[in-house]
Structure 1
């Protein structure tokens, strides 16, 4: 087992990377969003400039930029989370807090995703069987390609630009044999300084009284907060794993 480090240092994990992908191993734990807030603060201090997020579609970019400029209109953003990202109790609110925190510390907000209608249209023309046979790209892969195009464009605009991208793990990395991950796609586009940080552990609450632990660790490690280099995920880029304890939501760590 890789050595664990209880001093969770996102600046150290990022190194000189121009793109750091923060990946949720599941959308269900709200704590991953609050941990991402801590990561954003450290990475902004290290020189990162943009925050790109899977959970908002590109069609909302104008509304996102209006909120960025004025501080107004956040209600429409939160409503999108409420309507489309209710994966668990407090999860939509946690996504909202993540976006607000990114704006508050001065990161430029970028909506990455396709709309649900666009995804449905793609999958209707590329059913899963054809996608598995690599006859066409399903919505998962199309989304990844669009995200990479957007991120690479930002990185190529200015040498000082550095992007933090927040998404599910299986977008950052290859989800299946036929679904290419951003890890290889961005490298193909000439971006070589890339890091991936995987959020694991923690708890997911589906109501005030119904919670489930998400840690794969044994014994006391279930309740420890630490990071380590990740060697279990197949990827050509440098990856780390941040483990959140099951015992609490650790909201105090975002302060």
Structure 2
């Protein structure tokens, strides 16, 4: 892999991009959400205007906008995370803090995803074999298509609009041969200045006393905070990885 840089600077990684995708290598570590808060604060200062989020369904956009306008209704959003995104200890709360931070820095929050009911209906009509043979689109692909359409609509409204989007890494880039990533789908919509930043390492806790390190680095790097250019899998855009220290909770 490329040389590590211990001066983790999101403005440098973003460059002139109009879309920066922040990808979680796993939903389990709460620390990724807090690192995303740092990224939002830095990127807002250089002109980013929107924050789009996988973890909120489009059906909740009115609730999100109410919270954005008035500061009221956050409990409804937090309850959604608690019910559907309990991927580890403090994870639902960390997603909630990410939404709060986006509002506090002045980014307009966009709920990207389909509902679970919509996903189930799509997969019921498009089984794995048919999806793999590209005879239909499974829910993963439909989600990416909907997200890309939404992001492109925002970016095409004004040249001043810039989006930070938060999601699992396998939505940002191709998850399988039949599951195109946003790195290519957004380009099809006419936006070519895109960056992908992948969060790796860190610690995931499943209770107050049960935690697991998520770093795949050698021993001397496991506890270091750094970034490097590149992504170990296929990506259609310029990509980076930010490594969180394995002892960071």
Matched pairs, number: 249
Query: Which residue of 2 is the match for residue 38 of structure 1?
Result: 38
**3-state SS in 1 of match to 2:4:** coil
TM-score normalised by L of structure 2: 0.99
Task: Provide, for residues 159-216 of structure 1, a one-character-per-residue CA deviation record: whole Å limited to 9, x for no partner.
Answer: 1000000000000000001000000001111100000000000010000010001000
5+ residue gaps, structure 1: 250-255
Equivalent residue number for residue 221 of structure 1: 221
In 2, Cα distance between the equivalents of 1:96 and 1:230?
30
| 1:55-94 aligned within 5 A | 55-94=55-94
Distance 1:231 1:206, change over 3 A: closer
Q: Which residue does 1:120 correspond to in 2?
A: 120
List structure 1 runs of 4+ shifted beyond 2 angstroms. none
Question: 8 Å contact 2:55–2:112 — kept in the other structure?
Answer: yes
Q: Deviations over 1:13-54 (max 9, x none)?
A: 000000000000000000000000000000000100000000
Structure 2: gaps (5+ residues): none
Q: How does 1:72-221 map to 2 (within 5 A)?
A: 72-221=72-221
SS in 2 for 1:60: helix
Supply the distance in 2 between the matched residues of 1:13 and 1:20 (Cα, whole angstroms). 9
Tell me the equivalent position of 1:253.
Answer: none
- Give me the whole-angstrom Cα distance separating, in 2, the residues matched to 1:247 and 1:124: 42
| CA deviation profile, 1:78-100 (whole Å, cap 9, x unmatched) | 00000000000000000000000
Task: Give the secondary structure class of the aligned counterpart of 1:89.
Answer: coil
Cα deviation code 1:139-176 (max 9, x no counterpart) = 00000000001000000111100000000000000000
* Distance across 2 between alignment mates of 1:170 and 1:248: 24
Task: Give, in whole Å, the separation in 1 of the partners of 2:128 and 2:116.
Answer: 17
8 Å CA contact 2:173, 2:236 repeated in 1: no
RMSD of aligned Cα (Å): 0.6
Three-state SS of the structure 2 residue aligned to 1:148 is: helix
Displacement of 1:231 in angstroms is 4.2
Deviation of the 1:10 alpha carbon: 0.1
Matches of 2:207 and 2:247 in 1, distance apart? Answer: 16
Match of 2:8 in 1: 8
- Partner SS for 1:20: strand
CA–CA distance in structure 2, aligned partners of residues 49 and 131 of structure 1: 35
Counterpart for residue 242 of structure 1: 242
Looking at structure 1, the residues matched to 87 and 248 of structure 2 have their Cα atoms a distance apart, in angstroms, of 19
Secondary structure, aligned partner of 1:200: strand
Cα distance in 2 between the residues matched to 1:50 and 1:232: 28
1-side partners of 2:245 and 2:20: how far apart?
A: 23
